[in-house]
Amino acid sequence: MDLGLANKIALVCGSSKGLGKATAKSLAQEGAAVILCSSNPDNLLKAKQDIQAVAITEVKTISANLSQPDDVDRLVEMLFEQCDHLDILVNNTGGPRPGKFDELNVGDWREAYEAMFISAVRLTKSVLPGMKSQRWGRILNITSIAVKQPVENLVLSNSIRAGITGFARTLANEVAPFGITVNNILPGFTRTERLVSLAEDTARRNGISVDEAYQTWTKDIPMDRLGEPEEFGNVVTFLASEKASYVTGTSITVDGGWVRSLI
């Protein structure tokens, strides 16, 4: 199937590793011109080399820390220096620190809010005028299954990603007349660096092995396994494509059936 992504320009945030990298790689394989963004220049270079090996067009990079407002402004400036418009924006950041409510301070909340929520708002606001002008665009937010079924010990993620969901659902209706879709993609337990750190934290808290920590998750997944980043990236790529032109305002889980809710 031709997804109609040739010559589309995509900015994928948090794309030096994990789900962001898998998404960028999938988009690049389908012909989109991809711009990678990450706060770690070394990881960004490695990701570029890996993705360029399978990309149809040139892969570009911009180093930026999305928790810093000045960096977000610089990212936008550099983005439009490299291209005259943007077709696809993938808002994505690394997950905030784990912990229960009593273990976190106001600074932790403020940092997570700035990095996850405000960065998505600022980037979306900067690219929407161009998308409206060309009457085509895709805004995609990588959130978490936690917005449908909260995950223990992740109060920051459970709370702030729910806010992104409300923002996206409201925006979707406002921009639909311009041919712009807005969707959220909710990863489940997927084999990424982030999951490794969460497994280690779970093992430490509960006095169990890391393997046992993984088993506490997989036992609740009907597919009885962790997801792979590539499986997630392929779903995002479809939603970014021309073929998904009538899908907007949705929150789609990619979780092997972990969420038990009807919708």
Instruction: Show the tokens assigned to 127.
Output: 């690219």
134 lies in the same domain as 92: yes
Beta bridge partners of 99: 154
Cα 118 to Cα 122: distance, rounded to the nearest angstrom: 6
140: three-class secondary structure by DSSP: strand
* E strand residue ranges, the chain: 9-12, 33-38, 60-63, 88-91, 137-142, 180-187, 251-254
74 lies in the same domain as 139: yes
pLDDT value of residue 98: 86
CA-nearest of 31, 13, 261 to 146 is 261
29 lies in the same domain as 60: yes
pLDDT value of residue 184: 98
158 lies in the same domain as 212: no
Mean pLDDT in consecutive groups of 10 residues from the start of the chain, 263 residues: 92 96 97 96 96 95 93 94 95 89 95 94 97 98 93 92 97 98 96 86 88 90 96 98 98 95 84
Backbone φ/ψ region at 135: left (φ over 0), alpha (ψ -120 to 50), beta: left
Cα 55 to Cα 57: distance, rounded to the nearest angstrom: 6
Question: 111 lies in a domain?
Answer: yes
Question: 249 lies in a domain?
Answer: yes
30 lies in the same domain as 123: yes
Cβ–Cβ under 8 Å, residues 184 and 178 = no
Instruction: Show the tokens assigned to 22.
Output: 């898998």
For the whole model, what pTM was predicted? 0.93
235 lies in the same domain as 215: no
Beta bridge partners of 11: 35, 89
Question: 162 lies in a domain?
Answer: yes
222 lies in the same domain as 236: no
Cα 129 to Cα 250: distance, rounded to the nearest angstrom: 22
Q: Identify the domain containing residue 72 by its residue range.
A: 9-188+229-253
Question: 105 lies in a domain?
Answer: yes
138 lies in the same domain as 196: no
Question: 258 lies in a domain?
Answer: no
pLDDT value of residue 257: 96
Residue 155's CATH number: 3.40.50.720
